[in-house]
Structure 1
Amino acid sequence: MRRSPFQILAAVLLTIMLDPAAPALAQAAPVDVRILAINDLHGYLQPPAGGIRIADPDDKTRKIALAAGGVETMATLVKQLRQQTKNSIFVAAGDLIGASPFLSAMFHDEPTIESLSMMGLEIASVGNHEFDEGVDELLRMQNGGCHPIDKCQGPHPFPGAKFHYLAASTVEKSTGKTIFPPYEIRDFDGIPVAFIGLTLKGTANIVSPVGIAGLEFRDEADTVNALVPELKARGVEAIVVLIHEGGYPTGDYNECPGISGAIVDIVKKFDKAVDVVISGHTHQAYVCDIDGRLVTSGDKYGTIVTAIDLKLDSATRDVISAKADNVIVRTGVYAKDADQTALLASYEKLAAPIADRRAGSITETLSHIPNNAGESPLGDIIADAQLAATQNPTNGGAVAAFTNPGGIRINVTKKEDGAVSYGDLFASQPFRNQLVTLTLTGMQIKNVLEQQWRDPKLPRILQVSNGFNYTWDGAKPYGDHVVADSMSLNGKRIDPAASYRVTVNNYLSVGGDGFTGLKEGLTQQFGVYDIDALYGYFQANSPIGPAAAGRIARIN
């Protein structure tokens, strides 16, 4: 039977409606986006011999360790992970530089910035360690140019970062403006995604006050929530936060049962418009669901790349699903990237003659891990080295030395022959702070020691030189932790009214880590750098082994 024009048109329309591929009426497919993320690289361009040991997530006994780390391997992994999807972006959550091993630190972390730029990093939030050399030096990391004091030391002029730093919560007090843009919007197949960069609010308490003078670190959640209306007005529905703050999980790398820490409360305060949170700072690895949002962290020192896969709704332009996988940067499994190898070789050629200098030897590994009282074998030796460098009246006339535990980063590990190089020592104490000897009364020393508990959840127990002893009681309230009559010097009780010459580093002397009592010290005399004091101590006293603990005692 011959069909009328109306019947033909109806049949055509029905065919279109039933065909899911019909462009006119079909629902647009979701857009897939892959975010690759790292955090807390700390300039670890190369892993130590045998790689950084990281527990095998597939081993439920937690006894098998894998070799991981190194930018040569990371670059290959990043490239492979990016090739698996059309839309991708490589980002970071802070502390890419600072507290770095010798190869990066000698050149003020220029090699690390170059390596990450070459690797294709695009956006990074600012961590607290980005301020280790002050805000002006951080601006140089972004913009390039020679170091103002050491000039151009590298194999070529430093071009600055090709990636963009973001710092939404770091504000100049005088202008109210952020030091870097607060966010960046990227477009994926016509859908905008905003990336907000945050530094932890507590940065001012853990970096040198001099380097951040005039800056304010605002509340993380308040900062993000204030930006949400602005982003929505620009048509953004998908929001990713890069925050240098984190948590402490109890599970494996792709889990997070029982997570605690600052990140939990921060995420719960975020506006519901925030979809994904990429975190750092605590040197942990986790993949979490906190308050309905995906929250990730990728361990430390370049051992993990977090692969985050998003699906974006083409109609609402919002995130409809998000999942993540922490992928281990396995040494020896992925081939080394040739461009990264060439970059490192160009810097190693200049650094090796200094790094390879023999400092001395050790009888066994010197651990930086504190005991129950807060004392560590390596901390003892570093404090002794600083005292030895400043004991002479012409060098300061010090009778005691204190150093901050956060400045001691890794163990000095015993090699087969026991030899220790300048580079080994630098890796354990990488900040290159200048020693300062100053005069304090016995009561001022007591007050400084009490400031170890400014944060009761995270006491910062100073390492003390040989001959100085005291006892502390964890059950006492703030201001009474140190047992007053327990403080002694070479067996003699500290007199609250007497004056003592004490050596600290310049970071502590200006109130770093909250030790503001040291700012009261009189007759300051500057000495050598801490690393040079440690190097000289090893040359004079090797072989060196850990001393018996007991300088610091704990009651509760």
Structure 2
Amino acid sequence: MNFHTRDFLKASATLLAFSALAGFISPSQRVKAANNVRVVTKIYSSAKPEQSTWASVKKYRHDIPVQFLGINDLHGGLERTGNATFGNTKYENAGGAVRLASYLDSAQASFKKMAKNGKTFRVESGDMVGASPSNSALLQDESTMHVLKAMEFKLGTLGNHEFDEGLGEFHRIVVGGKPTKKYNSAEMNYPHQKSGLEIVISNVVDRKTGKAPFNFKPYVIQTVKGKNGQKVKVGFIGILTNTMPTLTTYQNYHPYKYLDEATAIAKYDRILRKKGVKAIVVLAHTGVASTVDSNTNQATTTGPSVDILQKLYKLDPKNSVDLYLAAHSHQYANAKVGHTVLLQSIYSGEAYEDAIGYLNPKTHDFAKNSLVGHVFPVMSSQQDPTIKDNSKVAAIVKDADERTSLIVNQKIGEAATAQSLTGRDKNNQYDENETGDLVTDSQLAAGKEAGQKQGLTVDFAMTNGGGVRAGLAVKPDKSITWGAAQDVQPFGNILDIVSMTGQQIYDVLNQQYKNYGAGHHTYLLVSGLKYDFTSNDDKTQPYKVTKIYTNDGKGLDLNKSYNVVINEFLKGGGDFFNQFKEAKQVGTAGVDTDVFVKYIEDQTKAGKPITAPKLDRKNFVGKAQ
């Protein structure tokens, strides 16, 4: 469903505080709390594998070289690009499936040149689909599965977005089954083919049977062959964040139970070791929080993935988890927790993970200190013309564009200027962006219209920041297309009208600032109201909402009931906004994607071309007394 952590923007800004740093910052931060293993955060300045330092091939000449190329949170981003920041270097327009494929091929070729008899695994850590741009979403993300197959990804795990339309639908596109219901003509005519992707998941079980759904395996074992008939087995364990009830709708998450991540890893780590498998990789859809203190020049890696690994070491100090490929929080991560290398490669193909090590045929584990992890950017052809576009993937993307073009390119409205509206990648310091405010404006308008028909007065609208997936693109001729609107609101969530007291509204807005920065920072976008907030002397809630008022400046009555438009995801307590679960539903207001499209159409027809809203709905007023 919706992505539920703060984008890497804040972390990127702090990373930029490093000035004139070259090479590996070693170590930029070390943490050794009581009963916890040490965490060492790393930042490399190299942009390509051939510029990087790996363990010596000569030193490990009797061992078997192995490479792991990983990605996370692709989200159907066949052509989507963004800014990837590594230390003090920014890579603009990074990403896109075509460039990603080329960089993976280049990284593998570089490895083969270094270690001629090496083995490469291409793996993914979830959210390959869902919250996707039109050329993937309109094809039920099957175009993305075609791309993954072309890029030779063989192993992956589940992310929360694999549940967006029910896990059964995701399984269908993995195995290449025919659609179970009628979609648009482009999807119905699209080739349905097996992806060749094996899903590994250890902590998701069917609520009724207690077994993994769709015969997914909790782990798989792969054999790596070396010279002279040598063989070493590598185990892969998959896990998904157990916060799933906050990440998708009830009907999508409720059929399954989500077990404790560290306990599941420990269980299957022991099973694998009993089978003689001591080289173990975890594909984990769990987040990290990476920051740099500009005052001390120290980097830190925290968040759920670190917590899970710390717990694993307490459950089993002798665990053999060597590599942990994280996801979900859309941030850069390169750290070591105990002996475990922890990596995450941002978002939407903007970067990729490249871990290389050597397997010892005698110990059946990685040779000591041989596993080195990097995260590299996927640069645009302008920044790196030496890497040529992957023609096979380019053909798949072009075909997807052509199949969906009639729908995507349909003009639905106009903007006042040819300037695109900002999205969540360009939030202001208060977590507000132009497209997000426009989305809530559209939902409030739909709520008022629906309310009139249902005998309701609708006052406000709120939506979760992660549900607004992109900025609203405006063409040079000021036109806005259906595809641009769908890219902003791709989920098709039902909009509910709920009754909330003024006190409940205060409470839910304050929930934004609880556990702020703890690896799952979330926020709300609002329409029809504004609020003041201030700093708060509480580590668990560093900010506090002090005043909420309507657009005409009238303060909310704590005891009065107001009608608010929210999506069904929030109504179920999504993004940790549990207060919404207490709200009483009194009506409905349509589907978010349709509502946004209609709003752009209606505004244009009324002679009101779309303009960027002023970002003044959240006002910081200083420190609380």
Same structural fold, with TM-score higher than 0.5 when normalized by the shorter chain:
yes
Aligned-partner Cα distance in 2 for 1:274–1:330:
31
Aligned-partner Cα distance in 1 for 2:79–2:190:
20
The Cα of 1:103 is off from its aligned counterpart by 1.1
Q: Please state if 1:424 is matched with 2:484.
A: yes
Higher mean Cα deviation, 200-209 or 151-160?
151-160
The Cα of 1:490 is off from its aligned counterpart by 4.1
Aligned-partner Cα distance in 1 for 2:194–2:525:
37
Structure 1 equivalent of residue 253 of structure 2: 212
Q: Which amino acid aligns with 1:77?
A: Y
**C-alpha contact (below 8 Å) 1:375/1:549 kept by paired residues:** yes
Q: Please state if 1:71 is matched with 2:137.
A: no
Once the two structures are superposed, the pairs formed by residues 324-339 of structure 1 within 5 Å of their partners are 324-332=373-381, 333=385, 334-339=387-392
**C-alpha contact (below 8 Å) 2:91/2:377 kept by paired residues:** no
Higher mean Cα deviation, 415-424 or 178-187?
415-424
Q: Secondary structure at the match of 2:440?
A: helix
**C-alpha contact (below 8 Å) 2:332/2:345 kept by paired residues:** yes
1:30-51 deviation per Cα after TM superposition (whole angstroms, max 9, x unaligned) = 111111111111110113xxx5
The Cα of 1:297 is off from its aligned counterpart by 1.6
Q: Please state if 1:347 is matched with 2:400.
A: yes
Once the two structures are superposed, the pairs formed by residues 530-545 of structure 1 within 5 Å of their partners are 530-539=592-601, 540-541=603-604, 542-545=608-611
Picking from 116, 121, 124, the partner of 2:156 is 124
Higher mean Cα deviation, 32-41 or 536-545?
536-545
Picking from 58, 65, 82, the partner of 1:52 is 82
**C-alpha contact (below 8 Å) 1:366/1:411 kept by paired residues:** yes
Aligned-partner Cα distance in 1 for 2:235–2:470:
36
Structure 2 equivalent of residue 291 of structure 1: 338
Cα–Cα, structure 1 residues 204 and 521, in superposed 2: closer, same or farther, change >3 Å? closer
Q: Please state if 1:380 is matched with 2:437.
A: yes
Once the two structures are superposed, the pairs formed by residues 40-439 of structure 1 within 5 Å of their partners are 40-47=73-80, 51-55=81-85, 62=89, 65-83=91-109, 84=112, 85=116, 86-151=118-183, 153-179=187-213, 180-189=216-225, 190-250=231-291, 257-270=299-312, 271=316, 272-320=319-367, 321-332=370-381, 333=385, 334-358=387-411, 359-363=413-417, 364-368=419-423, 369-392=426-449, 393-394=452-453, 397-413=457-473, 416-439=476-499
Q: Which amino acid aligns with 2:488?
A: S
The Cα of 1:184 is off from its aligned counterpart by 0.8
Cα–Cα, structure 1 residues 150 and 366, in superposed 2: closer, same or farther, change >3 Å? same
Root-mean-square deviation (CA, aligned residues, Å) is: 2.9
Aligned-partner Cα distance in 2 for 1:342–1:159:
16
Structure 2 equivalent of residue 6 of structure 1: none
Q: Which amino acid aligns with 2:614?
A: A
Q: Which amino acid aligns with 1:192?
A: K
The Cα of 1:222 is off from its aligned counterpart by 1.6
**C-alpha contact (below 8 Å) 2:69/2:352 kept by paired residues:** yes
**C-alpha contact (below 8 Å) 1:469/1:551 kept by paired residues:** yes
Q: Secondary structure at the match of 1:34?
A: strand
1:303-331 deviation per Cα after TM superposition (whole angstroms, max 9, x unaligned) = 22322212000111110111233333333
Structure 2 equivalent of residue 442 of structure 1: 502
Cα–Cα, structure 1 residues 100 and 338, in superposed 2: closer, same or farther, change >3 Å? same
Aligned-partner Cα distance in 2 for 1:370–1:42:
20
Aligned-partner Cα distance in 2 for 1:470–1:185:
54
The Cα of 1:402 is off from its aligned counterpart by 1.1
Structure 1 equivalent of residue 65 of structure 2: 32
- Report sequence identity in percent: 28
Aligned-partner Cα distance in 1 for 2:169–2:177:
10
Aligned-partner Cα distance in 2 for 1:233–1:198:
20
The Cα of 1:386 is off from its aligned counterpart by 0.9
Aligned-partner Cα distance in 2 for 1:209–1:370:
29
Aligned-partner Cα distance in 1 for 2:416–2:515:
35
Higher mean Cα deviation, 157-166 or 292-301?
157-166
Picking from 512, 517, 528, the partner of 2:574 is 512
Q: Secondary structure at the match of 1:97?
A: coil
**C-alpha contact (below 8 Å) 2:501/2:561 kept by paired residues:** yes
The Cα of 1:531 is off from its aligned counterpart by 2.2
What TM-score comes out, normalization by structure 1 length?
0.84
Cα–Cα, structure 1 residues 293 and 515, in superposed 2: closer, same or farther, change >3 Å? closer
The Cα of 1:124 is off from its aligned counterpart by 0.7
The one of the two structures with greater contact order (alpha-carbon pairs below 8 A, sep at least 6) is: 2
The Cα of 1:175 is off from its aligned counterpart by 2.6
Aligned-partner Cα distance in 2 for 1:246–1:460:
13
The Cα of 1:382 is off from its aligned counterpart by 0.9
**C-alpha contact (below 8 Å) 1:146/1:157 kept by paired residues:** no
Picking from 518, 531, 535, the partner of 1:470 is 531
Q: Which amino acid aligns with 2:533?
A: W
The Cα of 1:223 is off from its aligned counterpart by 1.2
The Cα of 1:157 is off from its aligned counterpart by 4.3
Higher mean Cα deviation, 504-513 or 434-443?
434-443
Cα–Cα, structure 1 residues 511 and 261, in superposed 2: closer, same or farther, change >3 Å? closer
Higher mean Cα deviation, 66-75 or 450-459?
450-459
Structure 2 equivalent of residue 18 of structure 1: none
Aligned-partner Cα distance in 2 for 1:374–1:118:
37
Cα–Cα, structure 1 residues 463 and 145, in superposed 2: closer, same or farther, change >3 Å? same
Q: Secondary structure at the match of 1:336?
A: coil
Aligned-partner Cα distance in 2 for 1:74–1:459:
28
Higher mean Cα deviation, 308-317 or 422-431?
422-431
**C-alpha contact (below 8 Å) 1:140/1:160 kept by paired residues:** no
Cα–Cα, structure 1 residues 61 and 224, in superposed 2: closer, same or farther, change >3 Å? closer
Aligned-partner Cα distance in 2 for 1:498–1:257:
47
Count of residue correspondences: 518
Aligned-partner Cα distance in 2 for 1:286–1:517:
32
**C-alpha contact (below 8 Å) 1:169/1:217 kept by paired residues:** yes
- Rg larger in structure: 1
Q: Which amino acid aligns with 2:108?
A: R
**C-alpha contact (below 8 Å) 2:565/2:589 kept by paired residues:** no
Cα–Cα, structure 1 residues 361 and 226, in superposed 2: closer, same or farther, change >3 Å? same
1:413-469 deviation per Cα after TM superposition (whole angstroms, max 9, x unaligned) = 555444332222222222222222233343443443344345444553321113x23
Q: Which amino acid aligns with 2:616?
A: G
Unaligned runs of 5+ residues in structure 2 are 1-59, 226-230
Q: Which amino acid aligns with 1:33?
A: V
Higher mean Cα deviation, 532-541 or 29-38?
532-541
Cα–Cα, structure 1 residues 72 and 175, in superposed 2: closer, same or farther, change >3 Å? same
Aligned-partner Cα distance in 2 for 1:70–1:269:
36
The Cα of 1:476 is off from its aligned counterpart by 7.1
